[in-house]
Homo-oligomer: A and B are copies of this chain.
Amino acid sequence: MRHSDSGCSAHHHSCAAAGSVQACVSIVPIFNHLEPVQLEQIMETVQSATYKKGETIYRAGEKSDSLYIVHKGSVKIYRLSASGKEHMVSLLHPGDFTGEYALFSESIHESYGEALEETQMCIIQRDDIHAFLEKYPAISLKILQEFSQKLERSEKQTAYFATEKVETRIALYLVELADKLSSGKTVVLPMSRKDLAAYLGTTPETISRKIADLEAQGLLKQLSKKKLEILDVDGLL
């Protein structure tokens, strides 16, 4: 097992030896089913890094050779199109990970990772992951499960873009959010209009307008910029 320390000395973000990193590994679905002994082995190889709000974690074009797990904070993954438009791929919270592509083929990042707040990441090198997979094949199955779920969601997402108009995509997003939070009927938007637009493939202006329209139709109510009360779920669909 290689104890690489690359990625720390040469960067401006702060790094730490694996200290309270334990939680980081044990909250990830990929690893959280493992025996304590195995967990400990993995934790020995984990790098930790913290990023300030707005700081870039990786950028498109850079070599990609590690798995990033969010420990604390949140991370925005986005792509830039040839025409310079931003598309947000996903928003990562503690326990989520990124960099999967790198694990199984030499590759470079096609997306950007950016901390949305003070964020701590756990980083595992590809070679270390490979060693674990050989040692504990059960991990492969877990990763395969995660991958197939991600794939399923990504294809569903693509289908939405291909077949639904913006208003429908926004409505679907709000309903999905309400389901996920299951916080009654009040939804808290987890990001700015700009980011939401980048996620849903539209513009901040259209988001504002459509939410206003939905409110005018009596389907929801804006409690504040970020807080919406869903009044009629079926009407939204």
Contact = CB atoms under 8 A, between A and B. Distances in A.
Interface of A: 79, 81-83, 85-87, 89, 100-101, 103-105, 110-111, 133-134, 137, 140-141, 143-145, 147-152, 154-164, 168, 198, 200-201, 237
B155 A89 contact: yes
A81 to B, nearest CB: 4
Contacts of A86: 163
A163 B83 contact: yes
Number of copies: 2
A23 B210 CA distance: 54
Given A150-B151, A154-B151, A157-B158, A81 B164 contact: yes
A100 to B, nearest CB: 6
Nearest to A78: B159
9 contacts: A79-B156, A85-B163, A101-B152, A133-B137, A133-B141, A137-B137, A147-B148, A151-B154, A154-B158
Nearest to A154: B154
A87 B140 contact: no
Contact of A151 (B100, B134, B237): B100
A180 to B, nearest CB: 18
B133 A101 contact: no
Nearest to A105: B145
Contacts of A154: 151, 154-155, 158
Contact of A81 (B111, B140, B152, B163): B163
Contacts of A163: 79, 81, 83, 85-87, 201
A230 B144 CA distance: 40
A20 to B, nearest CB: 30
A104 B151 contact: no
A77 to B, nearest CB: 9
A53 B207 CA distance: 44
Contacts of A161: 158, 161-162, 201
